[in-house]
Each structure stands twice: as C-alpha cells, then as structure tokens.
C-alpha cells in the first residue's frame, strides 16, 4: 500500500474493522468454511490491492443456507422488541466504527470520505428506525360478518432473506434490508458486489460481534461472496422466500425471472435516469447546487444521480452559464482528501463506459458544454479519475435514454408550460427519482399530481439524490417497482396471515351459505 493512502488512516481503519490479508468469503461470523477461489479487491483510489476474500463455492453455499435456516428457527421466536434491542446494539457499534467504516467505503468504492460517513450514518438511521418499528409491526382488525366471530391479520417473518447489493452503496443498502428483516424475525444471506467485498466483510464482522455477545446464532447474518453465479444460487433457491436485489436493470430482469419462476418474492431497486425540471420560477442558486451535487456526487454513480436537466428556454442560458462556472470549482482527486469533491469511478470498465457515452452523445448531435476526459498524473495512477462533463442534448437521443453510471449531465431545453417538461421527464424507461425547481405552486403541485412525475421519488426544490431513510425508497417501470427502507417497506419482509376466530357454539358460514347435515 502506498504511503499517501496510509496517511489517510486506511491502515488503522482496516485493523479496526478486522480486515485481514485473506478474508473468508462465505461466513456466518465464527464459522468459516470457504474453499472458493481468492478474489482480490482493488481500490480505485490508488489501484492497489487492499486485501482479498475467498469466494463462495456451491458446497460453501449449502452450508451457509443450512446454518441460516437453522438460525431462523430460534430467531423468529424471540419477541420483536427484543430483536429490536439487538439492532440497537448493532447501531451502537456502527457509531463506534463510523469513521473506520466510512473510510473503508471511501477507499474501496471511491466515494468521498464525507459521503462514506454519510453512508454509515444512513445505516445508523435505518437501525434506529428499525428499533422503533420492532414495536410497530401492526396488522389490522376487521369486523366479521358473522356473529361471535373476530377477524384480524398478523405478520410473521418470512425466513431467509437474500440480499444482493451493488458497489455504489456497499454498506447502506444492505443495512436497509438487514435491519428491517432482522426486526421482522428473518435471517439474512448477503452477497455484496464483487467490486466491494471488503465492505461486506467489515459489516459482517460488526454484526457477528453483536450476535455473539448476545449468545445468538451467527447464522442470523450470513455473508457470501462471488460473481453472478452466487447470485444465481440465491435467486433459484426455494429456501429463500425473498430476494432483494439492487443493481442494473439488466441484472434485475434476470433475477426477477429466476425468482418468479419459483414463485418467490423479489424486491428490485434498479436503474434510474433521474431528471430535474428547472422552470422560469426556479431559484437559480439552489438549482445549481442541487444539480451539481446530484450529477457529480459519488462521481455520478448513485442510482439517484441527476442525469438530465430539463430547463425552460427563458432561463436556459443563465442556468447553463451558472453550471459551467460551478463545474470550474470542482476538485477531482483522492476522495479521502477532504478538499476534493469528486473521486474516481469504480474501475476501468466504468471509465470505458463513460468514454463511450461521451463519444455517443456527440455522435448523436450533442454539444459538449464542459468537456470530459480521463485524468492522469500524480495520485491519479489508478486510471479511474474522470472529469465531470456536461453535454447539451436532445431528450430522444439513445444515450440520454440510457443510464450511464458516470458524472455526465445532459442539459435539455423545453418551451411552453411545465407539462411539456414533465412529458420529457417521464419519457424514459426508468422511473426512480425526479425533481422540480420552482417557486410556483401550480407547477410544483402539477408535478406531484397524477398527471405529474411517474417516478417513485418526486421532489420539489431539492435534487434527485440524497433521500432520507424514513420514506419508502424505490421506483417504477424498469427501476423494478420495489420499495426499501422507511414507511411500510417492512411488509415485504413478512408474510401476512388473516385469522378468523369463532367464539360461539354455532358454525355459520360466510356469505350466508346454508350447509345443514
Ligand atoms: C443507490 O444509489 O442505490 O438517495 C442508493 C440517495 C441515497 C441512496 C442511494 N440515500 O441518493
């Protein structure tokens, strides 16, 4: 490891998180039985190998599922508020290790240290939410049509929940699922992205410590590692009633079909193509801050990243100039160095996709407003650092319709009323996040109305990214339809049971049917 990264405290962080030279890839904490191939984790920050993990073989996987299934039998009988207490302790550990974990997220994934800390904060927030929820897994009571009968519904845990997560939020997305699933009484098997396996190991170590301290089976939280093949073990496995998968639409379509083929449940959080509409009544200063953070935050690798800016022609030039000016202030470099705003892309393949997209937008007739390019030089040797770019484009361009996980912002012009901008915003296959910048109540309300945005998230006067955990998170159309995190997203982790109890000596049938013997 290079001196400059050690200086940012990486070595200490790895030690605190118990990241060893080779980490067991399939593990339920104390139980290590991985025999699979070694997978190395490279940092996009400096191109160095951080450490390695063993991938999960089919035989390992069978052991993991057995341990998880066994753990479920006891975990489900623990009262939900007591399960909440375990999640509370997990959140306490996260608070203790926030800096170390935030640093590992930044170093292994490449997002800024501030965003790494934000991601761990998001984990803490969902745990706090889950603790409260553990006393609120409410069902309804209904009035029976029959005398002396009582009806109600209750929620029971599902069993083993499979979590497949992406590299861009290598720890938070797991926790959105795991914290809720745990209070619901489920156990989890997590396959983190093969690009960020050490974040998985670090979280697993923290969770295992909590379960162990409470004499609970460590199979409540299981980790498996590997590529799509391990994901396939999970999505085809009838012993896993729910698969929660975050990633590309391509991956989601495969997972959805495999899970549906066995009539399992899936929760999908897939691609976005998020737009901000900027109307003549927008506050330009706020618009620029929102758009720039949305487009370049996490180097444009959030599923909520702002990819399209739909600007009214009357303010088009003003917004354009303000944006170009703001981009001049951006500092790109080592994300652990807090003076930088933008870190590297995840790997060289991502850089290639960025390059192709820039080429394609120009080919299709677009004009570069802020030129892109791959950076080189001291501290940039990984080859993953790219310049955030802005292109003037048209809504129908193929590349504008497509989600490229990179800091490329397409600016699009609209004329006439806000309904024209809404039509452009909705005219893509994805439906995750959307926003409008306006101080005009009519425009804002129309955007939020049934004739407005068709996305799972629709914001007024804030950007498309940075959702809080309290709301349900997810989107429509090719985003997959799933909802994670807050509100009543917990219900997908449970099975609903309707109960009818007769406390009379008669047996009347519903719908007044007579059946006398
Ligand atoms: C993702 O990119 O998969 O709303 C999740 C946000 C974050 C989560 C993004 N809270 O930008």
Instruction: Say what percent of the chain tops pLDDT 90.
Output: 94
The answer for residues whose C-beta is within 8 angstroms of residue 101's C-beta and 6 or more apart is 13, 17, 94, 116, 120, 171, 199, 202, 203, 206
Please tell me if the CB atom of residue 432 comes closer than 6 angstroms to any atom of ligand 1: no
Q: Determine the Cα–Cα distance for residues 408 and 425; give it in Å rounded to an integer.
A: 17
Q: Are residues 311 and 391 in the same domain?
A: yes
The answer for residues whose C-beta is within 8 angstroms of residue 336's C-beta and 6 or more apart is 5, 8, 9, 10, 45, 103, 106, 107, 113
Q: Are residues 215 and 305 in the same domain?
A: no
pLDDT at residue 67 tops 90: yes
Q: Are residues 255 and 302 in the same domain?
A: no
pLDDT at residue 4 tops 80: no
Residue 338 is among the residues annotated as catalytic for this protein: no
Q: Which residue has the higher pLDDT, 22 or 81?
A: 81
Query: Would 509 be classed as within a structural domain?
Result: no
Q: What is the mean pLDDT of residues 327-354?
A: 97
Q: Are residues 203 and 139 in the same domain?
A: yes
Query: Would 27 be classed as within a structural domain?
Result: yes
Query: Would 513 be classed as within a structural domain?
Result: no
Q: Is 31 exposed, middle or buried (0-12, 13-18, 19+ CB in 10 A)?
A: middle
Q: Is 447 exposed, middle or buried (0-12, 13-18, 19+ CB in 10 A)?
A: buried
Q: What mean pLDDT value characterizes the chain?
A: 95
pLDDT at residue 244 tops 50: yes
Residue 68 Cα to ligand 1 middle (Å): 28
Please report the DSSP string for 250-316 in residue order: HHHHHHHHHHHHTT-EEEEE----EEEEE-TT--HHHHHHHHHHHHHGGGG-STT-EEEEEEETTTH
Please tell me if the CB atom of residue 301 comes closer than 6 angstroms to any atom of ligand 1: no
Q: Are residues 441 and 486 in the same domain?
A: no
Asked if residue 124 lies in contact with residue 95, where contact means CB atoms within 8 angstroms, the answer is: yes
The preferred substitution site among 116, 166, 169, 272 for testing ligand 1, maximizing ligand atoms within 8 Å of CB, is 169
Q: What is the pLDDT of residue 6?
A: 55
Q: What is the pLDDT of residue 28?
A: 56
The answer for residues whose C-beta is within 8 angstroms of residue 453's C-beta and 6 or more apart is 422, 425, 426, 434, 436, 447
Query: Would 506 be classed as within a structural domain?
Result: no
Q: What is the domain count for the chain? A: 2
Which atom number of ligand 1 is nearest to the Cα of residue 122?
10
- Over residues 415-428, the pLDDT tens digits come to 999 999 999 999 99
Q: Are residues 349 and 210 in the same domain?
A: no
Q: Determine the Cα–Cα distance for residues 409 and 309; give it in Å rounded to an integer.
A: 7
pLDDT at residue 433 tops 90: yes
Sign of the Cα torsion 360, 362, 366, 372 reads positive
Q: Are residues 294 and 405 in the same domain?
A: yes
Instruction: Say what percent of the chain tops pLDDT 70.
Output: 97
Q: Are residues 441 and 490 in the same domain?
A: no
Q: What is the mean pLDDT of residues 146-172?
A: 98
Which atom number of ligand 1 is nearest to the Cα of residue 473?
4
pLDDT at residue 30 tops 50: no
CA dihedral 297, 300, 301, 304 (to 10 degrees): 80
What is the number of residues in the chain?
517
The preferred substitution site among 467, 469, 475, 482 for testing ligand 1, maximizing ligand atoms within 8 Å of CB, is 467
Q: What is the DSSP letter of 229?
A: H
Q: What is the mean pLDDT of residues 104-131?
A: 98
Query: Would 19 be classed as within a structural domain?
Result: yes
Q: Are residues 404 and 485 in the same domain?
A: no
Q: What is the pLDDT of residue 31?
A: 47
Query: Would 510 be classed as within a structural domain?
Result: no
Q: What is the pLDDT of residue 386?
A: 98
Helix (H, G, I), strand (E, B) or coil at 492: helix
Threshold 0.85, pTM exceeds: yes
Closest by CA to 191, choosing from 129, 124, 240, 130, is 240
Residue 190, strand partner residues: 163, 223
Q: What is the pLDDT of residue 1?
A: 44
Q: Are residues 294 and 176 in the same domain?
A: no
Q: Are residues 86 and 229 in the same domain?
A: yes
CB atoms within 10 A of CB 124: 20
- Can you give 92-151 as a three-state secondary structure string? HHHHHCHHHHHHHHHHHHCCCHHHHHHHHHHHHHHHHHHHHHCCCCCCCEEECCCCCEEE
Q: What is the pLDDT of residue 3?
A: 46
Indicate which CATH number applies to the domain containing 382. Answer: 3.40.309.10
Query: Would 398 be classed as within a structural domain?
Result: yes
Q: What is the mean pLDDT of residues 56-68?
A: 95
Residue 302 Cα to ligand 1 middle (Å): 6
Q: Determine the Cα–Cα distance for residues 375 and 379; give it in Å rounded to an integer.
A: 10
pLDDT at residue 392 tops 50: yes
pLDDT at residue 129 tops 90: yes
Residue bearing tokens 């904490």: 29
Which atom number of ligand 1 is nearest to the Cα of residue 166?
3
The preferred substitution site among 126, 465, 471, 480 for testing ligand 1, maximizing ligand atoms within 8 Å of CB, is 465
- Over residues 76-94, the pLDDT tens digits come to 999 999 999 999 999 999 9
Indicate which CATH number applies to the domain containing 176. Answer: 3.40.605.10
Helix (H, G, I), strand (E, B) or coil at 422: helix
Please tell me if the CB atom of residue 173 comes closer than 6 angstroms to any atom of ligand 1: yes
Helix (H, G, I), strand (E, B) or coil at 53: strand
Query: Would 55 be classed as within a structural domain?
Result: yes
Q: What is the pLDDT of residue 25?
A: 60
Residue 303 is among the residues annotated as catalytic for this protein: yes
**Structural domain boundaries, residue 322:** 274-472
Please tell me if the CB atom of residue 467 comes closer than 6 angstroms to any atom of ligand 1: yes
- Over residues 266-312, the pLDDT tens digits come to 999 999 999 999 999 999 999 999 999 999 999 999 999 999 999 99
Please tell me if the CB atom of residue 167 comes closer than 6 angstroms to any atom of ligand 1: no
Q: Are residues 340 and 376 in the same domain?
A: yes
pLDDT at residue 162 tops 50: yes
Closest by CA to 385, choosing from 362, 357, 361, 355, is 355
Closest by CA to 235, choosing from 65, 93, 359, is 65
Q: Determine the Cα–Cα distance for residues 179 and 396; give it in Å rounded to an integer.
A: 40
Q: What is the mean pLDDT of residues 323-333?
A: 98
């Amino acid at each position: 490891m290079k001196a400059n990264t050690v200086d940012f405290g990486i070595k200490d962080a790895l030690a605190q998180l118990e990241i060893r030279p080779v980490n067991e890839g399939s593990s339920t904490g104390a139980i290590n039985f991985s025999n699979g191939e070694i997978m190395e984790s490279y940092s996009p920050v400096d191109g160095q190998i951080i450490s390695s993990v063993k991938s999960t073989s089919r035989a390992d996987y069978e052991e993991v599922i057995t341990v998880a299934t066994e753990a479920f039998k006891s975990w489900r009988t623990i009262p939900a508020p007591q399960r909440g207490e375990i999640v509370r302790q997990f959140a306490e550990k996260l608070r203790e290790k926030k800096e170390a974990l935030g640093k590992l997220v930044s170093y292994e994934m490449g997002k800024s240290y501030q965003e790494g800390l934000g991601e761990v904060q998001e984990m803490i927030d969902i745990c706090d939410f889950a603790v409260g929820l553990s006393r609120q897994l409410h069902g309804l009571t209904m009035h029976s049509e029959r005398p002396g009968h009582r009806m109600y519904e209750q929620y029971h845990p599902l069993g083993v929940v499979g979590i497949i997560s992406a590299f861009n939020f290598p720890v938070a997305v797991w926790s959105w699922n795991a914290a809720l699933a745990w209070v619901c009484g489920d156990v989890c098997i997590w396959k983190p992205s093969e690009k960020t396996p050490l974040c998985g190991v670090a979280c697993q170590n923290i969770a295992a410590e909590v379960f162990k301290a409470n004499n609970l089976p460590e199979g409540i939280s299981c980790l498996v590692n590997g590529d799509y093949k391990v994901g396939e073990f999970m999505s085809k496995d009838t012993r896993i009633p729910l698969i929660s998968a975050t990633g590309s639409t391509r991956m989601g379509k495969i997972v959805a079909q495999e899970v549906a083929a066995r009539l399992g449940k899936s929760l999908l959080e897939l691609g976005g193509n998020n737009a901000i509409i900027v109307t003549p009544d927008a506050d330009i200063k706020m618009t620029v801050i929102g758009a720039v953070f949305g487009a370049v935050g996490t180097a444009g690798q959030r599923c909520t990243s702002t990819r399209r800016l739909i600007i009214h022609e009357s303010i088009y030039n003003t917004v354009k100039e303000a944006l170009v000016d703001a981009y001049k202030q951006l500092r790109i470099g080592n994300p652990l160095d807090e003076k930088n705003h933008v870190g590297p892309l995840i790997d060289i393949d991502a850089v290639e996709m960025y390059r192709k997209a820039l080429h394609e937008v120009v080919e299709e007739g677009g004009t570069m407003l802020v030129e892109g390019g791959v950076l080189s030089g001291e501290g940039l040797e990984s080859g993953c650092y790219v310049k955030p770019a802005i292109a003037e484009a048209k809504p129908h361009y193929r590349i504008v319709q497509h989600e490229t996980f990179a800091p490329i912002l397409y600016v699009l012009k609209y004329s006439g009323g806000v309904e024209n901008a809404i039509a452009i915003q909705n005219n893509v296959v994805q439906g995750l996040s959307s926003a409008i910048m306006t101080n005009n109540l009519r425009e804002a309300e129309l955007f939020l109305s049934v004739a407005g945005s068709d996305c799972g998230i629709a914001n007024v006067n804030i950007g498309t990214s940075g959702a809080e955990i309290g709301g349900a998170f997810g989107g429509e159309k090719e985003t997959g339809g799933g909802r994670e995190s807050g509100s009543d997203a917990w219900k997908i982790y449970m099975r609903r049971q309707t109960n009818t109890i007769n406390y009379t000596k008669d047996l009347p049938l519903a719908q007044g049917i007579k059946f006398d013997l």
